[in-house]
Amino acid sequence: MSVSQFYHNAKCSKARQALTLLESHGVEPEIIRYLDNPPSVPTLITLSEKLGGDPRAMMRTKEPKYAELGLGDPRLGHLALLTAISEHPILLERPIFVNGDRAILGRPPEKVLELL
């Protein structure tokens, strides 16, 4: 079995539900508490590629910080968006489940089961 990771915010009900689903299927991923230890830009580049390559797809666009930083500007490139996530990890959508070379956003939580 490949190494799996779970980008987790314990305060998020969807993240808790997705983690419970994984555990009920015998999956014990490495838990990444991204708010406590924000991912680096290189890590986010890899994560974005596993999710399909569009950084905005992994961003919480309704988060006030998104508007405050002007991240909806279509002229912003991938690196600027990923740097913003690294500097302000609250912008990272959750939960994200990574299994090997694939990743999926757990919204709804049952989506994580697609990678098993």
Spell out the alpha helix ranges (H) of 51-116. Answer: 64-68, 78-87
CATH T-level assignment (fold) for domain 4-115: Glutaredoxin (3.40.30)
d(CA 31, CA 28): 8
- Record the pTM: 0.94
Establish whether 89 is a catalytic residue: no
Handedness of CA 57, 58, 60, 61 (dihedral sign): negative
Predicted confidence (pLDDT) per residue in 21-74, tens digit: 999 999 999 999 999 999 999 999 999 999 999 999 999 999 999 999 999 999
d(CA 30, CA 32): 6
- From the list 2, 8, 9, 12, the catalytic residue is 12
Q: Please say if the pLDDT value at position 1 is more than 90.
A: no
- Residue 114: closest CA among 30, 83, 102: 102
Contact 39, 82 (CB under 8 A): no
Residue boundaries of the structural domains of the chain:
4-115
Q: 10 Å Cβ neighbour count for 68? A: 9
Handedness of CA 11, 25, 29, 110 (dihedral sign): negative
